[in-house]
Amino acid sequence: MDGQSTLGAFLQARRSQLRPEDIDLDTYGERRRVPGLRREELALLAGVSASYYARLEQGHSHHASSEVLDALAHALRLDEAERRHLHDLAGATVRRRPARRPPQERVDAATRTLLDSMPDVPAVLTGRRTDVLAWNPLGHALFAGHLDPLAPDRPADRPNMASLIFLDAHMRDLYGSWESKARAIVANLRYAAGRHPDDALLAALIGELSMRSTEFATMWADHRVRPCTFADHEMRHPLVGSLTVTQQALRLSDEQILVVATAPAGSEGRTALRLLAQATAAATTVPTAAPRPHGAAPAPR
């Protein structure tokens, strides 16, 4: 993920998505070859020269100031997360550090205790690349009951939520609005890529998904940026049927996010989660032999 090309591609993509009518720009009925703004129009809005802005898009200018970046963010109508992403990309352009393999992500004891303390709430702990670092039994049952529940405990076998969304048939069937969930995953990966431009494993994940999924490649090219927060999702679970839950991403650190699924009291979603919890508990209960009455002979073999 080269900083220069990524910065230029982000600027170009967002400029093409901003229409003249979005900023009350009168085109006097002129027929335009592309729907987005021209370079010189965006440069005028941001208060920079057209030639300087062109160099930014082409990756030929290395030192855009914070003031210029903020002006561009304002002209492009970026929200706070997108503005921060723009600064991250510009910083990566200056640093240009080689990609490196980051240290293995770990789960501390306090976080494991937190997961264990919420048995009635589906919870999944993910890392910066959406690797599943841990989940509680209900989180495993809701999101990925078809996978080995112990897989997150083995770093080499950890499931990856982005890969599951795009490449796993069970996950595709699980979401009533799969495209909405997929776009949220891609936008979150874009945000992570801006924050960690030197993460070789993150770059490899994005490259693999781009090659194996045309849908991912198309969504990635949109340059949408959005860290996961919360959203309602209709899910079609193979055990408890249809349910609507609110998925919230609780950021525990810059590296780890706890994803929880909740439903309002009295809702069909809450009932479905309770049924799923009961089914999960029954499946994990190991039956024991009934005690033999005192003096009774052992059962024949």
Q: What is the mean pLDDT of residues 127-142?
A: 96
Q: What is the pLDDT of residue 37?
A: 86
In degrees and rounded to multiples of 5, residue 246 shows phi and psi of -100, 120
Residue 264 in this model has a pLDDT that exceeds 80: yes
141 and 178 belong to one structural domain = yes
85, 197: one domain: no
Cβ count within 10 A of residue 221: 12
> Across the chain, what does the average pLDDT equal?
86
52 vs 298, higher pLDDT = 52
Quick one: pLDDT at residue 41?
86
Which segment of 16-30, 51-65, 197-211 scores lowest on mean pLDDT?
16-30
In a domain, 290, yes or no: no
In a domain, 87, yes or no: yes
CATH of the domain at 36: 1.10.260.40
Strands (E), 79-203: 123-126, 132-135
Looking up residue 258, the CATH number of its domain turns out to be: 3.30.450.180
- 89 in the same domain as 22: yes
Q: Is residue 103 part of a domain?
A: no
Q: Is the pLDDT of residue 232 over 80?
A: yes
pLDDT computed for residue 38 by the predictor: 85
- Residues 90 and 113 both lie in one domain: no
For the entire predicted model, the pTM comes to 0.79
pLDDT at 179 over 60: yes
**What is the distance between the alpha carbons of residues 73 and 86, in angstroms, rounded to a whole number?**
8
Let me know whether 118 and 90 are in one domain: no
Looking at the fold, whether 89 and 117 belong to one and the same domain comes out as no
Number of domains the chain contains: 2
Indicate if 116 and 252 belong to the same structural domain.
yes
Same domain, 42 and 177: no
| Residue range of the domain that includes 232 | 109-282
Residues 59 and 149 in one domain: no
In a domain, 117, yes or no: yes
Token reading at 156: 């080499």
Q: Are residues 8 and 120 in the same domain?
A: no
Same structural domain, 77 and 222: no
Q: What is the total residue count of the chain?
A: 301
Q: Could you tell me which of 224, 265, 229 has the C-alpha nearest to residue 247?
A: 229
Residue 246 shares a structural domain with residue 150 = yes
Q: Which amino acid is at 85?
A: H
Burial readout 137-158 (b: 16 or more C-beta within 10 A, e: otherwise): bbbbbbbbbebebebbeeeeeb
